[in-house]
Amino acid sequence: MNWGLRITILYLSFVVLIFSLAFMATKQEWHMVREDYYQAELEQEGLIKRMHNSKALEQPVTIQYESAEAMLRICFPSEMEAIKGKITLYRPSDANEDQEWPVADLDESACQAISLEGMKTGLWRVHLSWESGDQLFYDEKGIMKY
């Protein structure tokens, strides 16, 4: 085998490799963190104000994951009245698995329990957005579901 044939084989191998990588890249699934990425960026200042309101509470909101029962328990401060809002479980690795619930059915201690049975294991972010009276609040916490 002469050197010209070796260079041709090397060159063709490189071209086949590049085309193979390009083909595999087009078949790869890409999940964006959010579909409305630009709109969410514009709303960031309002979110920061909500987080400051949440941090200023005398008694903070507690977000606990109880792995034995696969339950998420969210407790609001007792001084809050007429709480409205939403609870979002955000999956960083796959936006298709995000889930959302309204803040409703609070028990006598101002807590709400959500069953996470059937949801995939791994990292989840709990985004809690609520209002009480005329004030808006936001809090978030990461949980690891086993």
Give tens-digit pLDDT for 74-93. Answer: 999 888 888 899 999 988 88
140 CB-contact burial (10 Å; exposed 0-12 / middle 13-18 / buried 19+): middle
8 Å CB contact between 137 and 77: no
Answer for the pair 67, 131: CB distance below 8 angstroms, yes or no: no
Question: What predicted TM-score, i.e. pTM, was given to this entire model?
Answer: 0.71
Q: How many CA atoms lie within 13 A of 141 on its CB side?
A: 15
Can you list the domains of the chain with their CATH numbers?
Answer: 50-145 (2.60.40.10)
Q: Could you report the per-residue pLDDT of 7-26, keeping only the tens digit for each?
A: 999 999 999 999 999 999 99
Q: What pLDDT is stored for residue 45 in this prediction?
A: 85
**DSSP type of residue 121:** S
**% of the chain at pLDDT higher than 70:** 97
Percent of the chain at pLDDT exceeding 90: 46
* For residue 33, pLDDT beyond 80: no
Contact between residue 128 and residue 140 where contact means Cβ atoms under 8 Å apart: yes
Largest Cα–Cα separation, the chain? 87
Place of tokens 């791994």: 122
Average pLDDT, rounded, for the chain: 88
Res. 39 pLDDT band, cuts 50 70 90: confident
Write down the pLDDT at residue 129: 93
Cα distances from 18 to residues 21, 22, 24, 27, 31, in angstroms, run 5, 6, 10, 15, 24
Report which secondary-structure segment, H or E, holds 110.
none
Residue 32 has pLDDT above 70, yes or no: no
Sorting pLDDT into bands at 50, 70 and 90, what band is 51? very high
